[in-house]
Amino acid sequence: MINLSLTGLGATGPIKLNANDLVELRLSLPFYDEFIELKLNARLVHSTPVRGQFLIGVDFDAISSHQQRIISNFIDSHAKSQL
């Protein structure tokens, strides 16, 4: 995973995927003292060749408020560690 937001994520992968395909993603993110596995439905926005791999962008479909809270917590803690 390269980046993560409340609306989607960017990642790299070894194969080209088709734009508009629906995918199910599984992420394991730290949340306080444990890791939480999220299952997220998403739509592939692009799969762009870059240096022998593919840069993949997805938009999440509907995510729950609980999933939003876990993602927000991860983003906030990651941003603080970059200061």
pLDDT, tens digit, 9 for 90 and up, residues 53-74: 999 999 999 999 999 999 999 9
What is the reported pLDDT for 67?
A: 96
The pTM of the full predicted model, rounded to 2 decimals, is 0.86
CA distance 31 to 7: 19
pLDDT, tens digit, 9 for 90 and up, residues 26-58: 999 999 899 999 999 999 999 999 999 999 999
What is the reported pLDDT for 66?
A: 95
What is the reported pLDDT for 61?
A: 94
Q: What is the DSSP string of 1-50?
A: --EE-SSEEEEEESS---TT-EEEEEEEEEETTEEEEEEEEEEEEEEEEE
Question: Sorting pLDDT into bands at 50, 70 and 90, what band is 79?
Answer: confident
CATH at 51:
2.40.10.220
CA distance 71 to 36: 10
Give how many domains the chain has, as a whole number: 1
Domain range for 51: 3-81
